[in-house]
Amino acid sequence: MQNKLLKNDEYPPSEDTFFIANNIENEKGEYALDIGSGSGYLTKLLTENFSLVVGTDINCEVLQNQSSYKTSNLICCNASDALKIKFDFIVCNLPYLATDEILDIATDGGAEGFEIPKKIFDSTINNLKKNGKFVFVTSSLSNYQKLIDYAEKLGLKTRIMAKKKLFFEELILVEAIN
Ligand SMILES: C[S@@+](CC[C@H](N)C(=O)[O-])C[C@H]1O[C@@H](n2cnc3c(N)ncnc32)[C@H](O)[C@@H]1O
């Protein structure tokens, strides 16, 4: 049987990255976290308006190789597992694609596009301040309602902030307040 290789290349700033960036550029506060920092594009954007910004990624190599959008506080871990700080603002360009297997950790969300986002939410909830805001992106190709319902189940108050139609899917940006 052929071995399936896990792809773990850097995810370059893409349509979903810019969609999120356009919608969060006016967020301000003290502590912010970018989960799944990747190239660091969103992490760097947050440094313009927050005093302390942390970026995490499960892929240690992409953090080590950040160049154009490099910032100071990068931690390799699942979601926010390694952190004790409570953040005012957390953003995550989730691996949201509905996939049978996880072959590309940058994009594959597992069954219904829910499996990996759920793991990330279970971690994130421990690091969001009371009244803090968590913004995540999902897609019409995933079971996004299940994800929103799960955020509500964790005690977050959700609303769809914005939608963007692409050729083959619609991106859905969700705000979840603690
Ligand atoms: C869609 S890319 C987004 C990258 C970048 N934030 C952007 O918007 O261009 C998702 C990123 O999440 C990371 N990731 C996947 N699962 C993760 C997890 N459980 N915890 C932390 N990061 C994760 C991937 O390695 C990848 O860099």
Long-range (24+ apart) CB contacts under 8 A made by 48-53 are 49/25, 50/88, 50/89, 52/85
Query: How many whole angstroms from 7 Cα to the centroid of ligand 1?
Result: 12
Question: What integer pLDDT is reported at residue 10 of this predicted model?
Answer: 79
Q: List average pLDDT for each run of 10 residues in the chain, which is 178 residues long.
A: 58 95 97 97 98 97 94 97 98 95 93 96 98 97 96 98 94 98
Residue 37 CA, closest ligand 1 atom number: 6
Query: How many whole angstroms from 130 Cα to the centroid of ligand 1?
Result: 25
Question: What integer pLDDT is reported at residue 8 of this predicted model?
Answer: 67
Q: Which phi and psi (to 5°) does residue 2 adopt?
A: -75, 140
Q: Which of 9, 6, 53 is nearest to 30 (CA)?
A: 53
Q: Which helix (H) or strand (E) holds 136?
A: strand 128-139
Question: What integer pLDDT is reported at residue 1 of this predicted model?
Answer: 39
- Fold for 34-177, please state it: Rossmann fold (3.40.50)
